[in-house]
Amino acid sequence: MTRVRFLKWDGCLAAEAEAPAGTRLLELAQRLGLPLEGTCEGAMACSTCHVIVAPADFPRLGPLSPHEEDMLDFTPHVAPTSRLSCQVILEADLEALEVRLPPGHADMRGL
């Protein structure tokens, strides 16, 4: 199990939960009701699931694919540790992960 802390842009806790290995970070965030839309359902055709990974945790994740890097080039509020949460799969050896929601993030599914 991996314990994931989701922070709001201002650093306040948005949610915290545990998830088993193999869970996509986007799926966990959506189960918790966080505003990560994932419009393309993981096809990397959008960046509505963008998160900023804590610098200490970033190297422990798998590498970005060239396509994910390209999508992040068009993402607002991108940071050096940005990832698309649809591409982050929680691994068995990842005990904890902290991510921050970018400023202005909104889930447009309900509108």
| pLDDT greater at residue 57 or residue 37 | 57
Domain-embedded: residue 9: yes
CATH of the domain at 83: 3.10.20.30
Condensed to tens digits (0 to 9), the pLDDT of residues 73-82 reads: 989 999 999 9
Domain-embedded: residue 106: no
Name the nearest CA neighbour of 82 among 57, 106, 104: 57
Rounded Cα–Cα distance for residues 103 and 43 (Å): 23
The domain tally of the chain equals: 1
For residue 6, what are the domain limits? 2-100
SS3 25: helix
Rounded Cα–Cα distance for residues 20 and 35 (Å): 21
Condensed to tens digits (0 to 9), the pLDDT of residues 29-48 reads: 999 999 988 888 777 888 89
Question: pTM for the complete prediction?
Answer: 0.89
Cβ of 96: how many Cβ atoms within 10 Å?
A: 15
